[in-house]
Amino acid sequence: MENLYLERIVSDIWTGYIVATDRGLCYVSHVTTNLQDVVDFQVKHYPNSKLISNAKEIEPYRDQFYEYLNGDRATFDFPIDISGTPFQKEVWEALYTIPYGETASYLEIAEKIGRDHKSSQAVGGAVGSNPLCIVCPCHRVVGTDGKLTGYSGGIDVKIDLLNHEIEHGTKFIENR
């Protein structure tokens, strides 16, 4: 039986759950009222696993999340353990190229992976199924017109994350 390590992250910018396997971070949840989405994820992707709370194994992930939320980290460098279709993985990889504090449209992501405007809706579906929100920065994706679009944590959380990055972005400019 595989272990899934779980911890709740609490800050004034974002609150949610992070989940990791022995191989890396596998899920980030915005839901804080219960663990139903974590359990749904577990049943679908790791059916022969058990959730373990407050384990030492989750510390590196927790520490980097708090560094990000405190404005001291722009990217994450821990291992990840995700599964998805080849198309989803291609889209998720493109999300990592959106600079901290900046945004890109679904169309720009489609073009980045060699697709045309007809793929924007499929890109939106892949962005929406990203299991590693914040880490794989889907909050940086906006509509083609620049307007904020849906976010699994809600538009208010998306706004908070983007404003947080804009506020702290000057620290990281020289690292680009």
Q: Which residues are catalytic?
A: 138
Q: Which residues pair with 53 in a beta bridge?
A: 6
* Contact present, 109 and 95 (Cβ < 8 Å): yes
* Contact present, 28 and 14 (Cβ < 8 Å): no
Classified as helix, coil or strand, 33 is coil
* Contact present, 107 and 69 (Cβ < 8 Å): no
DSSP for residue 38 = H
Q: How far apart are CA 14 and CA 76, in angstroms?
A: 16
